[in-house]
């Protein structure tokens, strides 16, 4: 595309909503900078001239210095910054036609016909209205003599593309909006801190998340602790719902699905039941706009007083507020913003006067384009459905991701007493962790244990991997034993890398001895290989003819059958935050290049995605072979970079990228070739990538994977029950549960062998490799080829959610 002559000008702005009828929001601290950076750099790369609009629509109206050309260097060192560096402001002027006339005049004078808007549904609706009346605005400007007919002809149409920036994740049509994951990080950090304090001094703490943080702990020690957290962000509930799943809350109030009548009694029974199970702390999450079935508001103080007076629990409340909007963006948000920015520029390049305004969205791991006003309409329909008391419709309209979270929550948290979970059948399900430990394993174990107990099964814990299964380290595990596991890193069950192999006979004997009817294997590539070995051994050992499921959990993200693995997000954030600090250390010294080695074995997922999230100049991986010529180009690239205002470099290398071009070799090469221009430092991150507290994504992902695996095993056990015993020997009775594109699916272990590179322990097909050209473009390499085999064509959201007619979907 660089060889083409493109007369294209793109303007980027991040306005507040301008609609007066929208509820006023208290601040804008979304992770927009990654999207701004990607839009600017990809726009420049394609030959376009890119402009910043400072202070949102107000800057568009005022013009002048508010609309400035953007340069490559102007978006450097902004990935780690929260908020938006180009500013944003509420604009009542843009609501009026005279304000839009001024904005149109400013754009026409600069020859700008492409507008990229980052904001919520109000901002995007305003952009669409601006586009719809563009021809009328031009005609009025000609009549007023403010522009010439020739200028109007050159700007005859306006292209619009939107990216959704909102911590609320309340825009229908996308799984995640820019900023949501970062907000979840802030919330979970605070919740973890407060619950930890409460375990030490177990008082009842009520948290409300809105304007401030206030936690009051009594000096005395009480065994009756309750935390009530109000996630007061907007009358939509994604943050509250996911927080409830991620921290194992006892109750959540969300406006889309109010509690049943007499909820006060049910809540008290729930809290009492949790105490009977041995819990020392209760956590209640509240979303702003929480209401009952009669649409009467439910307040944090109301719940606090109820628990205090009726149960005698010493209760505290906390308001988190703007802490959710601030801070460093998460790795997920940085990558999401970068991908959305690239797709936005592609959409503008391909736009015609007939192309409807679109919004760039995320569906699974795919970037898609949706008609802007369809998404806005469905988003508004959610509010209408809630106002009319059609709460099931509201949940369905919120999309598949929200529905999955809600269904998982319902499974765990609608139990009121021990009698709800006591086993009603004689099925034993065993859980084992295999391979290297990673954050999120414990969340999957906890979820599987509790889901199994809810289904009426007895759950068994196998300690220390397949070795423990061979040695009989097997014991029942209860509801209370897994309490608090969601937020713990590592593997509480213990894990080893050893495969069944030589112990297969002893394993089969213990499966029979402990009467194990099905097996959940949570781990990395070793879990996948171990599952295959058990399936192969079915021919000789009938005891192994039981349903099995493998849940991918590894920082390497290298398990065939799944695009994502539990633990990879936590490791990615660890690498990203470390790179931020390393880059910051060069702020004073300048002219410094850092060579950093990441984990992952032969899989380059961590190196590639960390390169995107941290703004690396190169990321060397095994899947993309590199030679001495490539290294020479990289060195020359950095030497040229040092001539600009950006005098620092970041190089990532996957641990097994190349046997000869080791991290030490790269350090020596860059040090020698960079003499007199830059100096080098080397960092090997090591096992710090495997530890740490799980991120919200890994907690939520592990929770859903564990629950789904148990539900699948329950159905499979019914299928395999013959003549009074369990017998499963078909390929589909031993599966990998993984996320593929847009959904969680089960795939037979044996069917994945063809897509597996066993020598290098990676899948033969890896979706994220298509993101590597983005890394190179954003680092300013020339002549980068982009794989366009999967074009993000315009889709329609109405088909997915269904139209509301007569109060039904």
Q: What residues act catalytically?
A: 168
Sign of CA dihedral 749, 753, 756, 762: positive
Q: Rounded CA gap, 532 and 734, in Å?
A: 9
Q: Rounded CA gap, 428 and 453, in Å?
A: 10
CB burial class (10 A; 0-12, 13-18, 19+) of residue 338?
A: buried
DSSP class of residue 330 equals P
Q: Are 568 and 537 in contact (CB under 8 A)?
A: no
Q: Rounded CA gap, 401 and 174, in Å?
A: 9
Q: Rounded CA gap, 427 and 804, in Å?
A: 43
Q: Locate 630 and state its tokens.
A: 């490539």
Q: Rounded CA gap, 708 and 245, in Å?
A: 14
Q: Locate 277 and state its tokens.
A: 């199970």
Q: What DSSP assignment string belongs to 17-67?
A: P--TTSPPPS------HHHHHHHHHHHHHTT-EEEEETTHHHHHHH-GGGE
Q: Rounded CA gap, 521 and 303, in Å?
A: 40
Q: Rounded CA gap, 539 and 499, in Å?
A: 18
List beta partners, residue 650: 594
**How many of the other CB atoms lie within 10 Å of CB of 663?**
22
Spell out the long-range contacts of 151-157 with Cβ–Cβ below 8 A and sequence spacing 24 or more: 151/108, 151/109, 152/108, 154/108, 154/111, 155/107, 155/108, 155/111, 155/112, 155/113, 156/353, 157/113, 157/353
Q: Rounded CA gap, 574 and 564, in Å?
A: 17
Q: b vs e for 566-598, b when ≥16 Cβ sit within 10 Å of the residue's Cβ?
A: bbbbbbbbbbbbbbbebbeebeeeeebbbbbbb
First to last CA, the chain: 44
């Amino acid at each position: 595309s660089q060889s083409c002559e493109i007369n294209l000008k793109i303007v980027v702005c991040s306005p507040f909503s301008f609609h007066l009828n929208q509820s006023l929001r208290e601040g804008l601290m979304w992770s927009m900078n990654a999207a701004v950076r990607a839009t600017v750099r990809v726009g420049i790369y394609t030959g376009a001239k890119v402009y910043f609009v400072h202070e949102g629509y107000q800057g568009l109206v005022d013009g002048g210095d508010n609309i400035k050309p953007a340069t490559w260097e102007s978006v450097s060192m902004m990935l780690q910054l929260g908020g938006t560096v180009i500013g944003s402001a509420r604009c009542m002027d843009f609501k009026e036609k005279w304000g839009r006339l001024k904005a149109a005049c400013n754009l026409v004078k600069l020859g700008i016909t492409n507008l990229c808007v980052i904001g919520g549904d109000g901002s995007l609706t305003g952009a669409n209205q601006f586009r719809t009346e563009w021809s009328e605005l031009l005609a009025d400007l000609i009549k007023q003599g403010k522009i010439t007919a020739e200028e109007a002809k050159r700007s005859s149409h306006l292209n619009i593309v939107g990216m959704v920036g909102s911590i609320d994740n309340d825009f229908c049509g996308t799984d995640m909006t820019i900023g949501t994951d970062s907000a979840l990080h802030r919330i979970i950090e605070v919740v973890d801190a407060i619950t930890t304090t409460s375990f030490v001094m177990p008082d009842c703490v009520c948290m409300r998340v809105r304007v401030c943080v206030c936690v009051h702990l009594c000096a005395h020690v009480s065994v009756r602790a309750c935390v009530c957290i109000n996630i007061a962000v907007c009358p939509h509930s994604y943050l509250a719902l996911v927080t409830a799943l991620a921290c194992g809350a006892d109750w959540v109030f969300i406006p889309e699905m109010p509690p049943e009548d007499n909820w006060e009694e049910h809540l008290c029974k729930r809290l009492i039941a949790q105490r009977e199970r041995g819990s020392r702390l209760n956590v209640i999450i509240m979303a702003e706009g929480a209401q009952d079935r009669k649409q009467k508001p439910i307040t944090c103080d109301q719940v606090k007083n109820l628990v205090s007076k009726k149960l005698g629990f010493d209760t505290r409340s906390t308001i988190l507020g703007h802490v959710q909007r601030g801070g460093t963006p998460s790795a997920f948000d940085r990558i999401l913003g970068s991908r959305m920015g690239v797709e936005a520029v592609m959409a503008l390049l391909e736009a015609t006067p007939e192309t409807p305004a679109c919004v760039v969205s995320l569906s699974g791991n795919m970037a898609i384009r949706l008609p802007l006003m369809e998404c806005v309409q469905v988003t508004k329909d959610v509010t209408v459905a809630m106002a009319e008391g059609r709460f099931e419709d509201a949940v369905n309209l919120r999309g598949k991701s929200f529905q999955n979270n809600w269904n998982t929550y319902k499974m765990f948290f609608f139990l009121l007493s021990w009698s709800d979970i006591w086993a009603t059948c004689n099925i034993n399900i065993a859980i084992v962790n295999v391979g290297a430990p990673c954050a999120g394993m414990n969340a999957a174990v906890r979820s599987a244990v509790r889901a199994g107990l809810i289904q009426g099964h007895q759950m068994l814990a196998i300690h220390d991997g397949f070795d423990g299964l061979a040695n009989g380290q097997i014991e029942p595990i209860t509801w209370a034993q897994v309490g608090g596991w969601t937020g713990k890193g590592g593997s509480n069950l213990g894990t080893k890398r050893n495969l069944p192999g030589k112990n297969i006979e002893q394993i089969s004997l213990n499966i029979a001895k402990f009467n194990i009817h099905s097996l959940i294997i949570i781990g990395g590539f070793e879990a996948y290989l171990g599952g295959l070995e058990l399936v192969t051994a079915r021919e000789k050992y009938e005891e192994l003819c039981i349903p099995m499921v493998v849940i991918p959990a590894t920082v390497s993200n290298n398990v065939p059958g799944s695009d994502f693995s539990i633990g990879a997000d936590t490791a990615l954030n660890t690498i990203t935050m470390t790179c931020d600090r390393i880059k910051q250390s060069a702020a004073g010294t300048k002219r410094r290049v850092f060579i950093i080695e990441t984990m992952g074995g032969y899989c380059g997922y961590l190196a590639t995605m960390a390169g995107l999230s941290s703004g690396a100049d190169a990321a060397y991986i095994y899947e993309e072979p590199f030679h001495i010529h490539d290294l020479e180009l990289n060195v020359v690239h950095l030497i040229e970079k040092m001539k600009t205002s950006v005098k620092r470099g970041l190089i990532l290398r996957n641990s097994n990228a190349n046997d000869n071009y080791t991290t030490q070799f790269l350090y020596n090469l860059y040090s020698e070739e960079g003499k007199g221009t830059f100096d080098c430092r080397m960092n090997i991150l090591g096992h710090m990538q495997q530890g740490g507290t799980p991120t919200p994504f890994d907690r939520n992902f592990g929770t859903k994977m564990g629950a789904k695996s148990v539900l699948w095993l329950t159905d499979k056990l019914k299928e395999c029950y013959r003549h009074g015993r369990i017998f499963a020997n078909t390929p589909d009775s031993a599966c990998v549960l993984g996320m593929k594109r847009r959904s969680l699916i089960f795939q037979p272990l044996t069917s994945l062998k063809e897509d597996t590179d066993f020598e290098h322990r990676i899948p033969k097909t890896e979706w994220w490799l298509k993101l590597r050209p983005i890394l190179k473009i954003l680092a300013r390499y020339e002549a980068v080829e982009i794989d366009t085999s999967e074009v993000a064509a315009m889709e329609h959201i109405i088909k997915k959610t269904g139209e509301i007619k007569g109060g039904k979907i």
